[in-house]
Homo-oligomer: A and B are copies of this chain.
Amino acid sequence: MRIIIVGFNAAGLSAAINARKTNLDAEIVVYEKEKYLPYSRCGIPFVISGEVKSFQELMEYPEEFYEKNNIEIHLNCEVTSVDPANKKIHVVKDGTASTDRYDRLILALGGTPRVPPIKGIDKGNVFYVRTITDGEHILKAAKTFEKCAIIGGGMVGLEMADALSKLGVKVTIIDRKTQILPNLLDEDMTRRILPEFSKRGIRLILNGRCTEIIGDKKVQAIKVNDEILPTDFVIISTAVDPNVLLAVKAGIELGELGAIKVNMRMETSIKDIYACGDCVELPDLITGRSSCFQVRTGADSMGAVAGVNAAGGYSVLPAILIVGMLQLFNMQIAHVGYTERQAKQRGIIPIVSIVEGKTKADYYPGAKWIQVKLIFELESTTLIGAQIVGEEGVAMRAIFLSAAMTNKMTASELAKLHIGYTPPLNNHIEPICRAAEAAYDNIKICLLQLPE
């Protein structure tokens, strides 16, 4: 059995490892267009900030790991087309074309930063944040220049703002929306974060429409809402589009969001072709709505399922639950499932509670604040969304809430969850349980008030 994997980063890597685990004899062959072995894209902002010493440290495994696992790797290779009828792929490397044949094909094509329709966007010193090469350009610019404009106030944009401000770069963030992190948080949960930008001299322009990048060959300024902002370089971090061209050309069906459609074994519409990672859409766990899950842990899970199945095993991933988290300045931010706004957009009546608490016993030195917002669906009273902002313990609470949401826990179940307690490590009044209790009280009131 010859398994070819196209694309070798998080999803492709997970596919390769799990295919090998499932089938010791399979030929596993990988084609990747970048020059690097798999590395942590999530780590790029932390190399720029200096917290991680070099991009080299982001490498997932040393070369010997792949040799030992008998994974054949072709870097700098562009797979230009797939021929499903003959089970072949066409590859170009350094201008030279070749073909290869597969029994099973795994497409881990990744995504590409979206180029927003801004006049002059192709000028020099306009960067994206996707690859190590991107990171190297940004790091060089940060060490050379003074002022940076970041277009896009999502996770990556804010992480870059944090990193660059640590290097002394004067940062302006521009977002078209009325709030930061619109996919993660409702506006009420951004309020404790906003003052942190100005404290660090970062200018945040919301409702900001960047219409032009001004300069000769290189950026000199940007135009935002008719204001001219001088800047030395620009980072675009607006969205990531799934790479589907290769799949489309091969006749593979796309889903409603325009990403590759797969079943729960990660099989595409064409036999023996699997897909996984940022190029794929899957039902979300809450309402079954199609969703793109472009984060590392999604790539890990999808890649694993694709790899096991392609290698002759059996593994399923029926749905996905969005869990996102970031560290920003001195704060930790996480979300799980739907925001209140997203719930309403889907026709759900959300029951919401926000609670602020402490991460240790109140009297224990070093107790930190933490804020939790929970969102429940009114009829079932099940948890459908959560947002957490705080100074510690945020990531693990998000994972805990992912387990709660996966199991469709109700407000009262969550309020009564058995938790342990010791003063230095947590608070006997867990903010999550207290938020669930508050929501449970709200649910009782709302049910009484509903028109009959």
**Residues on A facing B (Cβ under 8 Å):** 40, 42-43, 46, 51-52, 57-58, 285, 295-298, 300-301, 317, 320-327, 332, 334, 336, 361, 363-365, 393-400, 402-404, 406-407, 409, 413-414, 416-426, 428-430
- Name the contact of A297 in the complex, choosing from B296, B394, B419 (C-beta under 8 A): B419
Point out the residues of chain B lying under 8 angstroms from A428, CB to CB. Answer: 42, 296-297, 300
Closest approach, in angstroms, between the C-beta of A410 and any C-beta of chain B? 11
A–B pairs, 12, beta carbons within 8 Å: A42-B361, A42-B422, A43-B363, A46-B424, A297-B420, A297-B428, A300-B429, A324-B420, A326-B425, A395-B422, A395-B426, A399-B426
Q: How many of these chains are in the complex?
A: 2
Closest to A363 in B: B57
A399 touching B399, Cβ below 8 Å = no
Q: Closest 3 A-B residue pairs measured CB to CB?
A: A323-B420, A396-B396, A400-B400
- Minimum C-beta distance from A290 to chain B (A): 16
Residue of B nearest to A305 (CB): B416
| B residues in contact with A398, CB < 8 Å | 419-420
A425, B325: Cβ atoms closer than 8 Å: yes
Instruction: Identify which of B43, B317, B397, B430 contacts A416 (C-beta below 8 A).
Output: B317
Closest to A304 in B: B416
Pairwise interchain contact B364-A43, C-beta atoms closer than 8 A? yes
Distance A317 CA – B394 CA, assembled complex (angstroms): 28
For A321, the chain B residues whose CB sits under 8 A away are 418
Establish whether residues B57 and A422, one from each chain, have CB atoms under 8 Å apart when the complex forms.
no
Decide: A422 and B363 in contact? CB cutoff 8 A. Answer: no
Separation of A295 and B426 alpha carbons in the complex (Å): 14
Contact A421 B364 (CB under 8 A): no
Given contact pairs A402-B417, A420-B398, A52 touches B363 in the complex (Cβ within 8 A): yes
Question: Beyond A297-B428, A325-B426, A428-B296, is A52–B365 a contact (Cβ under 8 Å)?
Answer: yes
A376 smallest CB distance to B (angstroms):
15
Contacts of A413 in B (CB 8 A): 406
User: B418, A407: Cβ atoms under 8 Å?
Assistant: no
Q: Are A421 and B297 also in contact (CB < 8 A) when A43-B361, A51-B365, A396-B393 are?
A: yes
Q: Which of B46, B57, B320, B361 contacts A40 (CB 8 A)?
A: B361
Given contacts A296-B428, A395-B425, A406-B418, 15 further A-B contacts (CB under 8 A): A46-B423, A51-B365, A51-B424, A57-B363, A58-B363, A300-B429, A320-B418, A327-B425, A396-B396, A396-B426, A399-B400, A399-B420, A402-B420, A403-B414, A406-B413
Tell me whether B51 and A364 are in contact (CB under 8 A).
yes
A296 CB contacts on chain B under 8 angstroms: 421, 428
- Cross-chain contact B395 with A397 (CB below 8 angstroms): no
Nearest CB on B from A411, distance (A): 13
What are the residues of chain B within 8 A of A301 when measuring CB–CB?
A: 416, 418
Contact of A399 among B298, B363, B430 (CB under 8 A): B430
- Residues of B contacting A422 in the complex (Cβ-Cβ under 8 angstroms): 42, 325-327, 395
> Contact check: which of B43, B320, B404, B407 meets A423 at CB < 8 Å?
B43
Determine which residue in A57, A295, A297, A413 has the highest number of CB atoms from chain B within 10 A of its CB, and name it: A297
A384 to chain B, nearest CB (A): 14
Specify which chain B residues have a CB less than 8 angstroms from the CB of A325 in the assembled complex: 420-422, 425-426
Q: Give complex CA distance A377, B251 in Å.
A: 46
How many angstroms between the C-alpha atoms of A184 and B276 in the bound complex?
A: 41
Residue of B nearest to A59 (CB): B363
A407 neighbours in B (Cβ, 8 Å): 403-404, 407, 409
B402 and A334 form a contact (CB under 8 A):
no
Nearest chain B residue, comparing its CB with the CB of A395: B425
In whole angstroms, how far apart are the Cα atoms of A423 and B426 in the complex? 23
Q: Are A420 and B52 in contact (CB under 8 A)?
A: no
The CA-CA distance from A301 to B434 in the complex, in Å, is 12
Residue of chain B at shortest CB distance from A441: B21
Give the CA-CA distance A58 to B298 in the complex, in Å.
44
List the B side residues contacting A363 at CB < 8 Å. 40, 43, 52, 57-58
Please determine whether A418 and B361 come into contact, CB atoms closer than 8 angstroms. Answer: no
Residue in B closest to A49 when the chains form the complex, CB atoms: B424
The docked-state distance in angstroms from the alpha carbon of A71 to that of B397 is 35
Q: Are A52 and B364 in contact (CB under 8 A)?
A: yes
User: In the bound complex, what is the Cα–Cα distance between A424 and B413 (angstroms)?
Assistant: 31
